[in-house]
Amino acid sequence: MSMSRRKFIQNSACLSATGAIACSPNTSSGAGFVGSEKIEKPLFIATWPFGKFSCEAAVKIATDSGSMLDAIEKGIWVTENDVKNASVGIGGIPNANGQVELDACIMSGPDHNAGSVAGIQDILHPISVARLVMESTPHVMLVGEGAKQFAIKNGYPETNLLTAQQKSNWENWQREQLKKSKQSQPKIDEEHHDTIAMLGLDAEGNLYGGCSTSGWGYKIPGRVGDSPIIGSGLYVDNQVGAAGATGLGENVMRHCGSFLVVEMMRQGAQPTEACEMAVNRIAEIDPKNLGNLDINFIALNKQGHYGAAGTSKGFKYSVSSPAGSQVLDAKAMSAKTIGPEGGNRK
């Protein structure tokens, strides 16, 4: 395929003095590593600016220990431990009954293995329990009380995940719902949802991924979104690439969104293009219009090219390697502005 003069100039301009993170992704398109420059590994990308801290931790862990699964797991710990983040781990927004329910999954590309937990309560690191499911059971997914008891049996202590601030917010939300409606089931808040999805590539070209969230704020108890569902919130194919999602999980789940992104890369699309194609495919089928879908994807291929796209303006993603870190703008596919990062109101 011939390269346009514009793309040749753009790629040439991306070369860095270090030759490591050699091409800063175009912040207007969200594309990264579109040329054949040297790519320094391990390389990690994650959803949202808060993902930068997780990616940086993952780079250090992978560099020090050589374990990419450790890097994915413990990199995500950084976000799960952040009480200021209202969409992941401790401090996450509870369900309509005031209980914090967490979802997570992890995938290993070389053996195409996966583990997942959903609706787990009182366990600080659901990503670790998901990895334990993957590595020590014949199953892929455990849910609810079963997942919790499995975690406790394997040495994970019970932890109160509902912070004083989130408890106060939930009590205020309950009062607001009672004023607005006498329905038996309060209306859930569509602005309160987010996820950390992280993808990693090692020096041998192997791919890994993980995802963790507290889900839709004030959701109906027992609701599970896309994040722990393999092929929806996360998918890794070691022959092709990996993808992760954030946004309104129901709109990702109904279309197997992350799997769709990877399949677009299999057909030859670069990561940002693959994310765009997946969003357009979903928009063609879904009765909601593009601006109301509220879905965003990140993608990383086996060559180390990465990118992101979403239905609204304002979605950002993070990239880290031994050469450094950056937060980048994803390609926006409508004029609608995305909600606050991390499930927090501004």
Beta carbons within 8 Å of 172's beta carbon, 6+ residues apart? none
Task: Decide: 231 and 259 in contact? Cβ < 8 Å.
Answer: yes
Q: Is 195 a catalytic residue?
A: yes
Q: What residues pair up with 197 in beta bridges, in sequence order? A: 211
- 10 Å CB burial of residue 329 (0-12, 13-18, 19+) is middle
CA distance 165 to 344: 12
> Six-digit token pair at 122?
């009182």
Three-state SS at 329:
strand
Concatenate the DSSP letters of all residues of 237-264 into one string. ETTTEEEEEEE-HHHHHTTTHHHHHHHH
Residue 26 corresponds to which amino acid?
Answer: N
| Tokens found for residue 264 | 């677009």
Task: Choose, from 18, 27, 137, 195, the residue flagged as catalytic.
Answer: 195
How far, in Å, CA of 95 to CA of 93, rounded?
Answer: 7
Q: Are 42 and 202 in contact (CB under 8 A)?
A: yes
Q: What is the DSSP string of 115-171?
A: EEEEEE-SBS-HHHHHHHHHHHSS-SEEEHHHHHHHHHHTTPPB-----HHHHHHHH
Q: Which two tokens stand for residue 346?
A: 């501004």
Q: Given the structure tokens 């609706």, which residue do they identify? A: 119
- Of 22, 23, 117, 127, nearest to 73 by C-alpha is 127
Q: Catalytic positions, please? A: 195
